[in-house]
């Protein structure tokens, strides 16, 4: 994963809140950083991640601009389900999308799959549809 561009969508511990204490995302971010990847963090509710001592971007276009290799959906913010978010993701170069929380509905996943490689953690019903 050295040099790969990875964008995390969401750093708070749960959707639609700005609290990063005890967020399960932190362990994954640490592992990806340690692997040598270039990380971009986005969260509409968090501007500074105290535990990581880093700034978090609030503009989705900014974190998608460098055309990430991998997008990890890591917090269930309602903003990520919006059609405008799907459109922004569809506008970037093909990437891998890993939905760690099963945020997107079936139609959104099928749309995203027309351009990107999509995987959903713990949703065998969806993963079989995406194949």
The pLDDT score that the predictor gives to residue 131 is 61
Q: What angle do CA 108, 17, 95 make, to 5 degrees?
A: 35
Rounded CA Rg of the chain? 14
Q: Tell me if 87 sits within 8 A of 108, measured CB to CB.
A: no
Per-residue pLDDT at 1: 79
pTM here?
A: 0.93
Q: Give the pLDDT of residue 123.
A: 65
Residue 92's domain spans which residues? 5-130
Q: How many CA atoms lie within 13 A of 39 on its CB side?
A: 22
pLDDT tens readout for residues 69-127:
999 999 999 999 999 999 999 999 999 999 999 999 999 999 999 999 999 987 666 65
53-74 burial, b for 16+ CB within 10 Å, e for fewer? eeebbeebeebbeeebbbbbbb
CATH number for the domain that contains residue 60? 3.40.50.720
Which of 97, 58, 96 lies closest to 77, judged by CA? 58
* pLDDT tens readout for residues 45-67: 999 999 999 999 999 999 999 89
- Considering its fold, how many domains does the chain have in total? 1
* 8 pLDDT tier (thresholds 50, 70, 90): very high
The predicted pLDDT at position 122 comes to 76
Determine the Cα–Cα distance for residues 14 and 27; give it in Å rounded to an integer: 15
């Amino acid at each position: 994963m050295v040099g790969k561009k990875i964008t995390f969508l969401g750093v708070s511990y749960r959707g639609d809140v700005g609290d990063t204490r005890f967020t399960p995302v932190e362990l994954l971010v640490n592992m990806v950083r340690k692997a040598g990847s270039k990380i971009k963090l986005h969260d509409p509710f968090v501007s500074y991640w105290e535990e990581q001592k880093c700034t978090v971007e609030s503009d989705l276009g900014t974190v998608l601009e460098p055309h990430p290799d991998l997008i990890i959906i890591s917090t269930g913010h309602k903003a990520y389900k919006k059609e405008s978010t799907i459109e922004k993701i569809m506008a970037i170069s093909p990437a891998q999308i890993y939905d760690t929380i099963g945020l997107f509905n079936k139609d959104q996943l099928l749309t995203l799959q027309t351009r990107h490689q999509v995987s959903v953690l713990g949703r065998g019903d969806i993963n079989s549809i995406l194949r």
